[in-house]
Structure 1
Amino acid sequence: MKPGIHPSYGPVVFRDRAAGFAFLTRSTATGGQTVVWEDGHTYPVVDVEVSAASHPFYTGRTKVLDTAGRVERFRRRYAPRER
């Protein structure tokens, strides 16, 4: 790799405030704030709007749509007309 052209890659805390969930990983993203992590070290923190802890697909809180009603309405609307 060429020196001086790559962003710094280090530990960052990603925090989902809606779910109260945070995890420590390595990334090139940096936040303007810092947080003291469980190990006592201070890391930059990036706030995210959706994570696996708050996304409806992963939490099982998805809304089930009435697809059968939609299909029947489509068939009634576009069915061949009887003469």
Structure 2
Amino acid sequence: MKKDLHPKINTVVFKDISCDYSFLGTTTMHSSETVKWEDGKEYPMIKVEISSESHPFYTGKQRVMDTEGRIDRFKKKYGKK
């Protein structure tokens, strides 16, 4: 097997900046920022913009799309004249 072929897997803390939620996970990404986790150890921290805690699909706060208005605009623009 070739030496140094695969990237090193690190345990890091992902922090959702939109709702101040953090979770521990593994990744091949690197970060210079560190944070002390609940177990007392210090881990690198990677900031993310969205996670399962803030994503509309998981929170149930999805936007209701105005499909009727979109269909009417389409028919108006491309419908038979």
TM-score range (shorter-chain normalised) is: 0.7 to 0.9
Bigger radius of gyration, 1 or 2? 1
Partner of 1:3: 3
1:51 partnered with 2:51: yes
Following TM superposition, where does structure 1 have runs of at least 4 consecutive aligned residues deviating by more than 2 angstroms? 4-7, 72-81
Instruction: Work out the CA distance in 2 between the residues paired with 1:26 and 1:76.
Output: 51
Partner of 1:27: 27
The TM-score normalised by the length of structure 2 is 0.82
Instruction: Work out the CA distance in 1 between the residues paired with 2:58 and 2:43.
Output: 27
Segments of 5+ residues of structure 1 without an aligned counterpart are none
Matched residues, number? 81
Instruction: Work out the CA distance in 2 between the residues paired with 1:34 and 1:77.
Output: 54
Instruction: Work out the CA distance in 2 between the residues paired with 1:36 and 1:76.
Output: 58
Query: Superposition RMSD on alpha carbons, in Å?
Result: 1.7
Segments of 5+ residues of structure 2 without an aligned counterpart are none
**Distance apart, 1:45 and its partner CA:** 0.6
Instruction: Work out the CA distance in 2 between the residues paired with 1:80 and 1:4.
Output: 63
